[in-house]
Amino acid sequence: MIVVLKAYADIDFFIPGAKIGQSFEVDIPQGAPIKAALEKLGIPSNAYGFFLNGRYATEDKILNPNDLVYLLEAISGG
């Protein structure tokens, strides 16, 4: 099944050339959690916070086809 991850975080450390706001379609097995989609892209789940279809979610939340997962930096500041 296809899910979409959208990065509102700096992820080019894990995906060279990736930009903030970029979307990634990921093909994962039916019933897989957010963590599985991240692993497929080589992104550690402890590096970001998640929103699934506009609601806060944890890495173990089960995904459905066409879900939209937003990746947010866990800690940021200046």
Residues 19-63: pLDDT tens digits?
Answer: 989 999 999 999 999 999 999 999 988 889 999 999 999 999 999
For residue 49, what pLDDT is reported?
92
Residue 45 lies in a domain: yes
pLDDT over 60 at 18, yes or no = yes
- Do the beta carbons of residue 34 and residue 9 sit within 8 Å? no
Residue 7 lies in a domain: yes
User: Phi and psi for 54 in degrees, rounded to 5?
Assistant: 90, 0
H or E, element range at 6: strand 2-8
Residue 35 lies in a domain: yes
How many Å separate Cα 22 from the centre of its chain? 11
This prediction has a pTM of 0.87
> How many domains is the chain partitioned into structurally?
1
